[in-house]
C-alpha cells in the first residue's frame, strides 16, 4: 500500500511538471505580447521595459521557468497581468463555481445515462430499445455549446422559463461562507437561494450533461448486456428472479466498473467543456475566466488555470480508482 501511494505521488508530480513545462513553452512560443495588450498607446519604451521587468518577462526562458517553479513550490502562482490580482486568489474564487457546475452536470448525466441504460436493458426485445438508441445517438452527436445555444433559444427566448445568464439573482442576499453556493444553501436550509441557483444552473448543467449521459448510457448498457449473459445470472433467472431484480441485485455492481472509469475520465473533459458553456451563459467560473485570459495573453493566469485542470485530472483519477475497488468486491479482497 505504501509503495502504491508513493508510486502514484511520484507519477502525479511528474505529470504536473510535464504540464507546467509544456504550457510554459507554448505560451512563450506563440505570437503576441501581454504587455503590449495591457499598456496604453502613449506608453514609452521605458514604461514597457519597467512592466516587463516587474512581471519577470525580461529574463531568459530558462530563468523565467525556474523562477516560476520556485514560486509555485511556495504556493505563489504569480500575479495576473490583465486583472492585477494574485492568480491563486482568482483560482480559489472561481474554482468552486466550476466544480459545483461540473459535479451537478455529472450527477445529472449519471442519473440520466443510468436510467437509459437500465431501461434499454429491460426493454431490449421491443421497439423502445431502438428509440433509446436513437435518443442517445442524438444526444451524443450534438456538442455542449450547441445544446447550450439550443436551450437558450428554447427555454430563454421562445419560452422564457429560466434565466439566461449569471449564477444568482443580484438582489438576493449572498453572504455565503464558501464558494459552493448551492450545496451551502441546501445545508443551511436557505431553499429560496437554492431554488434561484438551480434555475440559473439548469441550462448550463443540461448542456454539459446530455452528451455525457449518452456516453454513460452506451457503456453501461453494453456492460449490462454482457453481464446478463453470465452463468450466475442464468442460475438466478432459473430460480425465479425477475429481470428488474436481476439488474439491480446481480449485474449492476459488476457492470458499473467500466462506467465509473469512463465517468471519471469524462469528468475532466466535462470541466474543459465548461469553458464555452460558461461564456455563453455568463457563468462566473474558471471557463469564462480562461477565455478572457487567453484573449489578453495573461501568462500567469493561463499557467495557473492549466495546472489547476491538471491537478483536478489527477485527483479525479485517484478517486475513480478507489470507487472501482469499492464497487467490485473481487478487486477489494484481491
Encode pLDDT of 20-68 as tens digits.
Answer: 888 888 888 877 777 776 676 777 778 778 877 877 777 888 888 888 8
Domain boundary among 87, 121, 142: 87
Share of the chain above pLDDT 70, in %: 93
4 domain residue, yes or no: yes
Q: Is the domain of 117 the same as that of 40?
A: no
Contacts (Cβ under 8 Å, ≥6 apart) of 232? 250
pLDDT at 314: 82
303 lies in some domain:
no
Is 189 a domain residue? yes
What is the domain extent for residue 4?
Answer: 1-87
* Assigned domain for 118 exists: yes
Q: Is the pLDDT of residue 18 over 70?
A: yes
The model's pTM? 0.81
Are 83 and 301 contacting, i.e. CB atoms less than 8 angstroms apart? yes
pLDDT of 240: 73
- Residues in Cβ contact with 327 at an 8 Å cutoff, skipping those fewer than 6 apart: 253, 256, 257, 260
Reported confidence tier of residue 146, pLDDT bands at 50, 70, 90: very high
* Helices of type H across 32-157: 34-38, 45-54, 61-73, 87-122, 127-141, 144-151
Tell whether 50 and 118 lie within a shared domain.
no
Q: Quick one: average pLDDT of 249-258?
A: 75
* 234 plus 320 within the same structural domain: yes
**Statement to judge: residues 117 and 53 lie in one domain:** no
**Same domain? 43 vs 174:** no
Asked whether residue 226 is domain-assigned, the answer is yes
Among 57, 87, 117, the domain boundary falls at 87
Q: Name the pLDDT band for 333 (thresholds 50, 70, 90).
A: very low
**Same-domain pairing of 69 and 116:** no
Please tell me whether residues 35 and 133 are part of one structural domain. no
3-state helix vs strand vs coil in the chain, percent to 5: 75, 0, 25
Tell me whether residue 232 is in a domain.
yes
Number of domains in the chain: 2
Banded pLDDT at 148 (limits 50, 70, 90):
very high
Residue 210 pLDDT grade (very low, low, confident, very high; cuts 50, 70, 90): very high
Residue holding cell 478507489?
A: 322
**62, 103: one domain:** no
The answer on 126 and 104 residing in a single domain is: yes
Q: Is the pLDDT of residue 1 over 80?
A: no
- On whether both 196 and 315 belong to a single domain, the answer is yes
Task: Look up the CATH number of the domain holding residue 98.
Answer: 1.10.3720.10
Identify the CA nearest to 38 among candidates 25, 48, 29, 26: 48
Does any domain span residue 302?
no
Which three cell numbers, joined as nine digits, stand for 280? 455563453
Q: Where does a domain end: 63, 87, 111?
A: 87
Is residue 70 included in any domain, yes or no?
yes
Amino acid at each position: 500500500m505504501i509503495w502504491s501511494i508513493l508510486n502514484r505521488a511520484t507519477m502525479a508530480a511528474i505529470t504536473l511538471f510535464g504540464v507546467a513545462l509544456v504550457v510554459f513553452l507554448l505560451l512563450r512560443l506563440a505570437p503576441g505580447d501581454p504587455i503590449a495588450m495591457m499598456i496604453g498607446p502613449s506608453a514609452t519604451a521605458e514604461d514597457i521595459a519597467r512592466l516587463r521587468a516587474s512581471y519577470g518577462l525580461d529574463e531568459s526562458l530558462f530563468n523565467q521557468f525556474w523562477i516560476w517553479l520556485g514560486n509555485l513550490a511556495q504556493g505563489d502562482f504569480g500575479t495576473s497581468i490583465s486583472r492585477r490580482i494574485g492568480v491563486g486568489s482568482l483560482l480559489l474564487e472561481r474554482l468552486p463555481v466550476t466544480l459545483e457546475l461540473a459535479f451537478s452536470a455529472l450527477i445529472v448525466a449519471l442519473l440520466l445515462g443510468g436510467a437509459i441504460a437500465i431501461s434499454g436493458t429491460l426493454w431490449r426485445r421491443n421497439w423502445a430499445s431502438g428509440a433509446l438508441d436513437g435518443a442517445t445517438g442524438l444526444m451524443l452527436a450534438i456538442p455542449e455549446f450547441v445544446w447550450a445555444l439550443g436551450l437558450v433559444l428554447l427555454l430563454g427566448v421562445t419560452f422564457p422559463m429560466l434565466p439566461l445568464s449569471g449564477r444568482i439573482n443580484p438582489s438576493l442576499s449572498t453572504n455565503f461562507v464558501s464558494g459552493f453556493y448551492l450545496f451551502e444553501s441546501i445545508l443551511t436550509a436557505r431553499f429560496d437561494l437554492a431554488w434561484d441557483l438551480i434555475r440559473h444552473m439548469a441550462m448550463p448543467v443540461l448542456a454539459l450533461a446530455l452528451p455525457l449521459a449518452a456516453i454513460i448510457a452506451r457503456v453501461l448498457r453494453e456492460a449490462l448486456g454482457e453481464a446478463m449473459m453470465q452463468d450466475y445470472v442464468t442460475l438466478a433467472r432459473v430460480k425465479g428472479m425477475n429481470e428488474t431484480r436481476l439488474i439491480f441485485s446481480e449485474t449492476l455492481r459488476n457492470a458499473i466498473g467500466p462506467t465509473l472509469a469512463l465517468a471519471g475520465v469524462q469528468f475532466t473533459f466535462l470541466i474543459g467543456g465548461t469553458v464555452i458553456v460558461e461564456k455563453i451563459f455568463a457563468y462566473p467560473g474558471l471557463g469564462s475566466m480562461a477565455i478572457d485570459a487567453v484573449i489578453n495573453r495573461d501568462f500567469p493566469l493561463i499557467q495557473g488555470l492549466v495546472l489547476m485542470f491538471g491537478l483536478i485530472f489527477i485527483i479525479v483519477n485517484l478517486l475513480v480508482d478507489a470507487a472501482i475497488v469499492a464497487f467490485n468486491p473481487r478487486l477489494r479482497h484481491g
